[in-house]
Structure 1
Amino acid sequence: MGHQRLGKLPAHRFLPEIVRYLLDGGTPTADLVDQVTEVGRDALQRAVKDPVFIAALWLLVRMPQAAASNSAPDGWAALDLKGGQAASLTDLLVAFDTALERVQRRSAGGATDLGEIARQSAKSALAETLQPRLPVLWTPTAEDVRRSLASLRSPEAFADLAQRFHSRFVDRVIHYFIDRNLHRMIGPERFTKSLNDVESFNGAVRRHCDEASLIMRAYARDWLGKNQYRDGKTLTREDIRRFTGYSVEKLRIELAQRKGAP
């Protein structure tokens, strides 16, 4: 994930024990769950300072608004999205991904793999949220894609997007550290005796992240409803930065509570 170009994440104090457990095998313990959770909490605290993390959420807010406006091409250009109206979901995701990559390049001095993880997490969240809204009986047209994207401007849809984004981010952070040792984790005496065990482990991590991030749905919905519909505000990156500070802290507190921390 761009380790040479972007630089690696800082080593986490719990990682040696986590990786050693996964390599040696054994029965999952509460301590291990606590330590895996703390990796995600620590990454979230660092992520609020990453420009790509902020830009990803800003685009998730502003792209649906631009798609719903009467001057969508102008709104598209204002968001630094190239190529005009997307002709397909793939085109839309490419434009979104490219815009975030430009943010990475402009902030090369402070960019880390957290930004790369945020970029991939935001793209996954957008694809997962849009796909069910597209037609299934025919190939979606450019207008179908535009209407589906515009439908995400509601507070309820943003709550779904924000939850998915944060959940995918924590999930990817955990696997960032673990997957590099995956080839050593599988075996008769290991924690994962087969690929099916790996799949079960990944599913458990995903459920953990999805459940923990539910806490921020109501906050994300109410925040967008207040700013966009009640106050009629055009949201800036600084607004998103403040939103992120609160939303990340809510998720970090929830993760701490789920692992039994005070």
Structure 2
Amino acid sequence: MGHQRLGKLPAHRLLPEIVRYLVTGGTPTEDLVDQVTEVGRDALKLALKDPVFIEALWLLIRMPQAAASQDFPISLENLGMAGIAPASLSDVLVSYDRALEKVQRRLHAGATDLGEIARRAGLSALGAEVRQALPTLWAPTAADVRASVAALKGTEKFAALSQRFYASFVERVIHYYVDRNLHNMVGAGRVARSVHDLRAFNDSIRRHCEESALIMRAFAKDWLGKNHYKDGKQISRDDVRRFSAHAVEKIRIELGIRKGAP
């Protein structure tokens, strides 16, 4: 209800060419370079105005800090999350998800698909990083879960978390446009001949976005290290918005370089 779609991709006619290049390989044209770059850059620029996008990234910074505090439940409540310490990875993700849903409900007609994409990207990044830190030889306890979340507060872990978040966000935006047109792209004589081609496309998109977002690691590490650990700053949503604005430009440059742009 009141949901705002992202709209039509500026050069919609080039989507089949993007798919063809990623499935079969080859030398991208100048137009293709521009379009793949523009998809990610424009979405990130628009996302800076979306409160759900900002909240998704802000919670990825503040939730680990809350887990490392003396009173985890109260710290979570101060972030607008359920004041109950999560006992499992599922609890962590549900708590994060519900906090973002609250923001979406407050927006009503102002909610956008970019916010929903950011929510899913945040869940994916958070789940992957926490799962990676959990013990594997025994069933994780509530203390293990808290320690795994708290471990993400360090600059190295935040760097990895940022890369996952931005890579997942850009990947999902590209799929948002492409997947809506798959019925025109799959079949004999079309861009993708089979499901196997689509799998190759998905793998290529994911690899491209992950490698492009590598630039976020050093930037995110230095940013959090200076602002939170050196300057003692409590990271605000406005700080996250400024951080993301710088990230947009860095990712734009990297996307262009990866596609051979001058």
TM-score normalised according to structure 2 size: 0.92
1:104 deviates by: 1.3
| 1:14 and 1:39 in contact (8 A); partners too | no
**1:12 and 2:9 are equivalent in the alignment:** yes
Q: How many residues align?
A: 258
Deviations 1:78-110 (A, max 9, x none): 011115111110111011011111111112243
| 1:26 and 1:190 in contact (8 A); partners too | no
Structure 1 equivalent of residue 255 of structure 2: 255
C-alpha distance in 1, partners of 2:176/2:149? 30
Aligned-residue Cα RMSD (Å) equals: 2.0
Deviations 1:150-176 (A, max 9, x none): 000000000000111000000000000
1:10 deviates by: 2.5
| 2:39 and 2:174 in contact (8 A); partners too | yes
C-alpha distance 184-224 of structure 1, shift in aligned 2 (>3 A): same
Letter in 2 for 1:246: H
Listed as ranges, the matches of 1:223-262 within 5 Å are 223-262=223-262
**1:170 and 2:170 are equivalent in the alignment:** yes
1:203 deviates by: 0.5
Unaligned runs of 5+ in 2: none
Letter in 2 for 1:240: V
Overall identity of the aligned pairs, in %: 55
| 1:57 and 1:122 in contact (8 A); partners too | yes
Unaligned runs of 5+ in 1: none
**1:76 and 2:79 are equivalent in the alignment:** no
Structure 1 equivalent of residue 180 of structure 2: 180
Deviations 1:40-94 (A, max 9, x none): 1211111111111111111000000000011111101001111511111011101
SS of 1:101's partner is helix
**Ranges of 4+ aligned residues in structure 1 off by more than 6 Å:** none
Structure 2 equivalent of residue 55 of structure 1: 55
C-alpha distance in 1, partners of 2:241/2:65? 18
Say which is worse superposed, 25-34 or 206-215, in terms of deviation.
Answer: 25-34
TM-score normalised according to structure 1 size: 0.92
Structure 1 equivalent of residue 216 of structure 2: 216
